[in-house]
Every structure is written in C-alpha cells, then in structure tokens.
C-alpha cells in the first residue's frame, strides 16, 4: 500500500486512540473514532452497474469494502478518503489480510464469521511481517493495549461487529465462495491503494493534483451531513454544489459517480414523503412531534423520517439538474421504512444537464 509516510505517528495515534476509547470516543466521527470492519451496502451491485471501464477510483475509506468491489470490477488504483486517521492503519491491514490469508482464515479474522469477533491475534501473526513498519507498529501497540483480547478489541474498537457481520453477508460477495474470494485476492494483489486524510468538504484541498477519477463512490456519506433534526434543503444544496464544483470536474468523461446510498428507500417511500410534505409545506417535523400519536407512528414506520426526507430533497435536486440512474440493491436491513430494497444514485458526466 502506498501512502504519505509523514502522516504516520503510530505510537501517538495508538495512545490517542486509547484516550478517546477511555472517554467513550467522544466525537463518534472524527480524527480518532471507531472503525468499520465491513460495509452494509450492496456495493458489488451498484459498482457493477457503474461499469468496468475505469482504472482509477476515489471512494470513502471506512471498511475498505467499496474499494474491494471497485477492484473486482477493474479498478487498479484506489484513493480512499476518510477523516478518521486510524482508518489508514485498518485499510492496509485489510489489504494485506485479503492478499495473504486463505478464505477461511480471512472470514475469521475480518468478518466475525466464527465466534462473533474479529482480529484474532494468532491470525494477525500470520500477516504482521508483511505490513509496513508504521502500520505493524500501530497494531502491535493496539494488541498490547487490549491485552491481546480480540473480543474486547472487537467490541470497543469497531462498530457493531457481530450485528454488521450478519447483515453484511446479504450484500457482500467477495468472500461468498472460494472461486470469488481467490479471484478477488489476485486482483487485490495487482491493485494500488492510497489514503487521503480528509473530511468530505475539505477534499478540494486534499485531492492529489493532476489526477481524474473514472469512478467516485460516496457511500451514505450524505446521510451523516444532513441528518436528524437539522435536515434541510440548504444542506442538500451545499452537498450538491460541492459535487458540482469539486468532484464532477475530477470525474473522467466516461466516468460514473455513486452520489448517495439510501437504506430501505424506493419510489413508493418517496411518493409517500412527497404527500406528507404537501400536507406540511414547512417541511419535516422533529421526531419528538412526529411520534406523538398513532397516525404519526404509522407515518414514521412508512418511512417519513428525517433520514428519508433528507434523501428526498437530494433526489429532487439531482433529478432537476442531472439525468441520474437509480440502482435498486438488496437491503441489508438498515433504514426505517417498509421498502425491501436499498437504492444507489449514480451520476454520469455524459448525462445532459437539465434546464432549471
């Protein structure tokens, strides 16, 4: 894995991780925050829909699964971005594990396939000497901090390992059978991974100069930027303008961007939200008001939530300005509505801009 060695301060990062952990992490999404061991998005489905004619891709870091799916579909250079500087240590660990472990061992080490925990120290020892020195130093310190107890590490260092593992089996395919796993393993060996330490709205300052991307994957990042009681059209437009001004200019002419991933969301949910917003032109009511009666509870269970209203605003804005592709994917089980599918929104540079 290639990276800027100046970002690594393994001992400092491990100690800071311990301080944050002892204080309950504090900022749940920040420079030091818990890690995802696996994605719950059906990335293989929407990335296949994006196409295979790309070499260089930009994606959120997190578990690394989006990058793995991109490599499965032809990408050779993956640029991961994440505000969490601990993620660079995990991404290299995941790449090295996937390159070197047999499928059974990888499932036990990374996917909580056996006893509901990950990071077995016995399996770590099989790949430790293949890690770069700063990454190995970080994980050696981390194991020491957790007294080599991988169950404690799974619970306190990662997000919902056991629950996410069960749900992720619905939507991830690269470890589903030996043939797919070992084919992916060979492709990963031929790929280069890069890490950009950056939050979303700072990408304009941190993207590498002179590089365009054939594919850009933003996961469900939009949800974290426009969520809860602060949901607003203004936040939607801020997100859309950033895509338009910063990311689309860096997208190759025939490239594709996955702009948002929506859990348990489909056209029926969207129509229901539109109906509810027509009843209340001032927009979505805070959850404390929303759940104050049987009718409102039924509305909530039908998908009238801040999360889905936020997506509705984005979907409307994107449709108004761009031709977009909606890709239904199997649902891993997250989100609040009756919908049986998740939904990925894909933009392409070749789409004709719509008149406002």
Report the 10 Å Cβ neighbour count for 180: 15
- 254 within 8 A of 94, measured Cβ to Cβ: no
Rounded CA-CA distance 257/187 in Å is 22
H/E segment holding residue 81: strand 77-82
Domain boundary among 175, 206, 237: 206
Q: Indicate if 142 and 198 belong to the same structural domain.
A: yes
Model confidence band, residue 289 (pLDDT cutoffs 50, 70, 90): low
Domain boundary among 140, 174, 206: 206
In a domain, 356, yes or no: no
Tell me the pTM.
Answer: 0.93
Q: Indicate if 187 and 142 belong to the same structural domain.
A: yes
> Coil, strand or helix: which one is 43?
helix
In a domain, 325, yes or no: yes
Q: Indicate if 254 and 153 belong to the same structural domain.
A: no
Mean pLDDT along residues 278-300: 68
The percent of residues above 90 in pLDDT, for the chain, comes to 59
Q: Indicate if 106 and 233 belong to the same structural domain.
A: no
In sequence order, the β-bridge partners of residue 94 are none
Rounded CA-CA distance 110/224 in Å is 25
Q: Half-sphere exposure of 293 toward its Cβ, with a 13 Å CA cutoff?
A: 4
Q: Indicate if 46 and 177 belong to the same structural domain.
A: yes
Q: Indicate if 200 and 229 belong to the same structural domain.
A: no
Nearest by Cα to 333 from 341, 321, 343: 341
pLDDT in tens, 212-271: 999 999 999 999 899 877 788 999 999 999 999 999 999 999 899 999 999 988 889 999
Per-residue pLDDT at 100 exceeds 60: yes
Sheet holding 77-82, edge to edge: 192-197, 77-82, 56-60, 213-217, 251-262, 341-348, 324-330
Per-residue pLDDT at 356 exceeds 50: no
In a domain, 211, yes or no: no
pLDDT in tens, 146-163: 999 999 999 999 988 887
From the centroid of its chain, how far is CA 78? 14
Rounded CA-CA distance 38/66 in Å is 9
Domain boundary among 206, 228, 263: 206
Q: Indicate if 193 and 65 belong to the same structural domain.
A: yes
For position 351, what pLDDT does the model report?
Answer: 59
Q: Indicate if 59 and 130 belong to the same structural domain.
A: yes
Q: Which of 43-52, 276-285, 346-355 has the lowest mean pLDDT?
A: 346-355
In a domain, 75, yes or no: yes
Look at the chain and report how many structural domains it folds into.
2
In a domain, 39, yes or no: yes
Q: Indicate if 52 and 169 belong to the same structural domain.
A: yes
In a domain, 30, yes or no: yes
Q: Indicate if 140 and 278 belong to the same structural domain.
A: no
In a domain, 213, yes or no: no
> Domain span at residue 49?
5-206
Q: Indicate if 11 and 146 belong to the same structural domain.
A: yes
In a domain, 354, yes or no: no
In sequence order, the β-bridge partners of residue 329 are 342
- 201 within 8 A of 241, measured Cβ to Cβ: no
Q: Indicate if 189 and 236 belong to the same structural domain.
A: no
Nearest by Cα to 5 from 155, 197, 142, 279: 197
Comparing 5 with 281, the larger pLDDT belongs to 281
């Amino acid at each position: 894995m290639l990276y800027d060695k100046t970002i690594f301060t393994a001992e400092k990062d491990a100690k800071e991780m311990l301080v944050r952990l002892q204080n309950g992490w504090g900022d749940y999404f920040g420079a030091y925050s818990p890690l995802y061991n696996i994605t719950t998005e059906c990335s293989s489905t929407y990335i296949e829909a994006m196409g295979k004619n790309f070499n260089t891709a930009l994606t959120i870091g997190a578990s690394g699964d989006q990058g793995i799916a991109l490599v499965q579909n032809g990408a050779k250079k993956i640029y991961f971005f994440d505000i969490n500087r601990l993620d660079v240590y995990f991404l290299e660990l995941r790449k090295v594990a996937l390159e070197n472990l047999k499928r059974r061992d990888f499932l036990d080490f990374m996917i909580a396939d056996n006893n509901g925990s990950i990071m077995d120290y016995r399996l770590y020892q099989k790949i430790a000497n293949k890690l770069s020195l700063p990454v190995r130093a970080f994980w050696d310190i981390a194991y020491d901090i957790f007294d080599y107890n991988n169950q404690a590490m799974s619970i306190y260092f990662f997000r919902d390992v056991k629950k996410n593992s069960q749900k992720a089996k619905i939507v991830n395919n690269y470890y589903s059978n030996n043939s797919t796993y070992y084919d992916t393993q060979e492709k990963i060996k031929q790929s280069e991974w890069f890490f950009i330490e950056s939050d979303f709205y700072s990408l304009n300052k941190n993207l590498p100069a002179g590089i365009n991307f054939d594919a850009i994957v933003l996961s469900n990042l939009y949800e974290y930027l426009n969520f809860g009681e602060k949901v607003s059209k203004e936040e939607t437009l801020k997100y859309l303008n950033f895509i338009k001004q910063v990311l689309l200019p860096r997208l190759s002419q025939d490239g594709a961007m996955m702009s948002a991933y929506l859990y348990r969301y489909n056209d029926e949910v969207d129509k229901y939200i539109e109906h509810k917003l027509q009843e209340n032109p001032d927009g979505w009511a805070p959850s404390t008001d929303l759940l104050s009666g049987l009718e409102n509870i039924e509305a909530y269970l039908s998908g009238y939530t801040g999360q889905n209203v936020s997506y509705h605003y984005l979907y409307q804005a994107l449709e108004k300005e761009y031709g977009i592709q909606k890709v239904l994917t199997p649902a891993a089980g997250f989100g609040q509505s009756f919908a049986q599918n998740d939904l990925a929104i894909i933009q392409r540079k070749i789409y004709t801009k719509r008149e406002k």
